[in-house]
Amino acid sequence: MTTVSGGESGALTAMLVYRRPAERRDLLRNLADLGVFVVEHHRRDGWASVASSTAADVAIVLAGDDDDRNLVANLAGLSERPVIVCVPDGVSTHGYLEAGAMGCVSERDFSRAGTRLMLEAGVRARSRRTQTPAVAALVLNGIEFDPRVPAILHAGAARTLSQSERSLLMRLIEAAGRPVAVDELERMATPPGEAMQRGFIKAAVLRLRRKIVELGGNPMLIRTVRGYGYALALDDAAL
């Protein structure tokens, strides 16, 4: 089950991964006090898909045992987002720091040290957003694409994108109107650590087209190249 709670628009976003039972109330209250928007993930699998689709600024892992070091390493490698680990009192933090965690604190110290780490993660997130270069200010015939959020925007309205949708759109922009094969799109849009699922690009294209329509654009801006893949229609003649 994945639930969403609290936070203001544009605030820091944290993905909270439960690998063991934990007291949620105090933790969520502390994060809410910091203005953090939280995505909670309670299952033992599917974390990579959730991490990819939420575009979280930071991942917080409530680790349960040493096997969770692999999860921390994979989350740290999934993007530039920092990973904060919370372990039961008395459990060594060394292995998690070696796995790439930005910080690792015990449950007893989380309200104090965790707050400091979240503030540091916020500084890093703002720095990444500032340093990420824009990709073509106006793409898709006037619909703007901001890869940092990520989102597409038009006339003050916006539709956020999953990481797979972002990767798909960026690759089509890089191709500058040339067709890109479905196989290539599926490989590059599959989150690290997950098996590639055939056919999911078609669903991602449908979602992107729907969002383009919701912003008043033409869904055929992403055109199907029959038997091969997809391409951007960069001018009206291609629609």
Q: Give the model's pLDDT for residue 9.
A: 38
Amino acid identity, position 24: R
**Structural element, H or E, at residue 4:** strand 2-5
Average pLDDT (188-193) is 68
CA dihedral 7, 12, 13, 15 (to 10 degrees): -110
- Model confidence pLDDT, tens digit, residues 130-153: 665 544 444 567 788 877 667 888
Looking at the domain 144-238, which fold is it?
A: Arc Repressor Mutant, subunit A (1.10.10)
| Region of poorest pLDDT, from 94-103, 191-200, 220-229 | 191-200
Q: Give the model's pLDDT for residue 224.
A: 94
Instruction: Name which of 165, 150, 144, 149 is nearest 217 in CA terms.
Output: 144
Residue 109's Cβ-side half-sphere holds a number of Cα atoms within 13 Å equal to: 16
Q: Give the model's pLDDT for residue 206.
A: 92
Homologous superfamily (CATH) of 2-131 is: Response regulator (3.40.50.2300)
CA distances from 129 to 70, 122, 123 (A): 27, 11, 10
Q: Give the model's pLDDT for residue 36.
A: 81
Average pLDDT (194-223) is 85
Q: Where are the domains of the chain?
A: 2-131, 144-238
DSSP strands (E only) in 166-220:
180-181
- pTM (two decimals): 0.53
